[in-house]
A and B are shown apart, each in its own frame.
Chain A
Amino acid sequence: MVTTMVAFEINLGPLAPHYLSEIIMGIVLMVLIIVVLAKAVVPAFEKMYAERADAIQGGMERAEKAQAEAEQALQEYRSQLAEAREEAAKIREDAKNQGAQILAEMRERAAKESERMVESARAQIEAERAQASSQLRAEVGGLATTLAGKIVGESLTDDQRARGTVERFLAELESTPIGAGER
């Protein structure tokens, strides 16, 4: 019975495992590798990939944010610059206006001052003239009396008479217009 079984057995040659241990070792080692890779290797790689994706995404977000900030800052600077320019122009305009105003005021003030000076000079002259005229009146009175006494030979010491004479003379004198000779 056994011999017939052997006779019918197909000889597989190298297709038959030499040892049963080959199959067992193949499976056992492979399972061992799977367990280690599943526990320690694949999670580590996947974690690293996730971290890398995060880092790249985070970096891109950060860059975008920085760019937005930079743009905003630029916008601000530009508006500030424009404002400053406007202000400078305004200040310049104001200064020009103010300068013109000051100049006009000064001019006006100078004109007034000169007018006032002329006026005061005129008043002074007038006062001096009045003073001179009254002084002159006294002196001329005396002189004229003395002169007339000498000419007439008659003493005009009589005050009553003399004053009357002088008064008369002066009235005459005043009635004549103050012409070119006086002024």
Chain B
Amino acid sequence: MLTLPFLPMETGGEGGYKPPSVEDFYFPTLFGIDQVDRTTVQAIIAALLVIVLWVWAARRLKTVPTKGQFFSEFIYEFIRNGVARDALGHDYRKYLPWLLGLFSFILVNNWFGEFFYFMFPTFSRVGYAYGLALLTWVIYIGAGFKKHGIRYLKMSLLPEGVPWYLWWLIIPLEFLSNFITRPITLALRLFANLFAGHLVVTVFVIGGGYLLTVDNNWFYNVAGGVSLIFSIAILFLELFIGALQAYIFTVLSAQYVSSSISDHH
């Protein structure tokens, strides 16, 4: 009897509990169209939200800012000065729409994980993260070729000062790091954080809810209540992580572009 509370749930009597798993990240298709589910709708809503909010903010810009403009300017300047200009120097203007959109789009999608009705971060589905990472990959490699032409390949594959007898080792390594792992790590970092975060939240909410309603076991009920309360704290943590990951993705993207257009490698 004493050991009972610590047994895995599946063995704990009722058997009605199904722990959150990868299956909770997949939804039935919508509108009868294959390949379309609620994450598709979510991504579209997020993109529209980003576009509408920015266009709206841009329409009512004044030289002397209002309170609302102060907020939009804060985010704009955060990306413009803190990310784009910091990493790219005076070339930042060309990449600013992309970096600003990237940050806003990821942020809104991440925060969908904590907002009612959605309660699901879009980027916990890895495909969207792959998409954005692929775009970043195209942009930073394109920027490199545009700036240096074919010399970009040599610059990115062969750092200066490497002795010729190490070329056989360095060239594949640099190729892997610059052209393969960069986009993959970019996508996986975003995806894994959001996936794990959402899983933790569902564990606390679903598990807590289940424990709270177990009959004749006050220990389970108290633990369930505590875990439900704790899930609120986890939600706040997830808000923070969502913003942080949006920022990291944007900063790294800017950094990659910066490394491809810089003159020294």
Contact = CB atoms under 8 A, between A and B. Distances in A.
A136 B63 CA distance: 121
A25 B59 contact: no
A17 B130 contact: yes
What interface size band does chain B fall in?
A: 35 or more
Interface string B94-124: 0011101110110000000000000000000
A13 B128 contact: no
A23 B127 contact: yes
A18 B26 contact: yes
Contacts of B39: 22
B76 interface: yes
B128 to A, nearest CB: 4
Given A15-B188, A44-B59, A34 B101 contact: yes
A127 interface: no
A148 to B, nearest CB: 136
Nearest to B124: A14
A42 B104 CA distance: 13
A41 interface: yes
Interface string A30-54: 1111111110111011101001100
Contact of B47 (A20, A33, A55): A33
Q: What is the predominant secondary structure among interface residues of chain B facing chain A?
A: helix
Contacts of A48: 61-63
B126 interface: yes
Contacts, number: 126
Contacts of A19: 35-37, 127
- Which residue of A26, A30, A45 has the most chain B CB atoms within 10 A of its CB atom? A26
Contact of B57 (A13, A24, A36, A41): A41
A178 interface: no
Nearest to B37: A19
A13 B100 CA distance: 32
Nearest to B195: A14
Given A27-B131, A37-B100, A40-B55, A16 B126 contact: yes
Interface string B124-143: 01111111101100000000
A5 B62 CA distance: 62
B101 A30 contact: yes
A29 interface: yes
Interface of A: 13-27, 29-38, 40-42, 44-46, 48, 51-52, 55
Interface of B: 22, 25-26, 35-37, 39-40, 43-44, 46-47, 50-51, 54-55, 57-59, 61-63, 73, 76, 80, 93, 96-98, 100-102, 104-105, 125-132, 134-135, 188, 191, 195
24 contacts: A13-B22, A14-B22, A17-B125, A21-B35, A22-B40, A22-B128, A26-B127, A26-B128, A26-B134, A26-B135, A29-B43, A29-B47, A30-B47, A30-B131, A30-B132, A33-B50, A33-B105, A36-B51, A37-B96, A37-B97, A38-B98, A42-B93, A42-B100, A45-B76
